[in-house]
């Protein structure tokens, strides 16, 4: 079930948005919405693997500057 702001149960597909995500339209109130997208890293643009590697470096006691320097040379 896709949760819309209107909270009605009846909806149907209604094209796609600019990012290519499926849009839906409520059959009762005609409001359009898209499925919520899971973003575990927020607005970060790196892969989950790279983020966990950097987090591991920081958890082991590496300084932020050292982790940044290694990440810049390794992941770019």
pLDDT at 58: 95
- φ, ψ for residue 14 (rounded to 5)? -145, 55
pLDDT at 28: 86
Distance (Å, rounded) from C-alpha 20 to C-alpha 73? 33
Give the single-character DSSP code of 67. H
Higher pLDDT, 76 or 35: 35
Q: Identify the H or E element spanning 16.
A: strand 11-16
Distance (Å, rounded) from C-alpha 35 to C-alpha 60? 38
Q: How do residues 11-69 score in pLDDT, each as one tens digit?
A: 888 899 888 889 999 888 888 888 877 888 888 888 888 899 999 999 999 999 999 89
pLDDT confidence band for 1 (50 / 70 / 90): very low
pLDDT over 60 (residue 3): no
pTM: 0.50
**Spatial contact of 36 and 61, defined as CB atoms under 8 Å apart:** no
């Amino acid at each position: 079930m896709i949760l819309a702001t209107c909270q009605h149960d009846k909806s149907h597909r209604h094209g796609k948005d600019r990012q290519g995500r499926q849009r839906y339209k409520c059959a009762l109130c005609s409001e359009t919405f898209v499925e919520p997208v899971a973003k575990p890293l927020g607005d970060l643009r790196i892969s989950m693997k790279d983020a966990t590697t950097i987090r591991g470096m920081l958890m082991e006691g590496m300084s932020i500057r050292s982790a940044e320097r290694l990440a810049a040379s390794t992941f770019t």
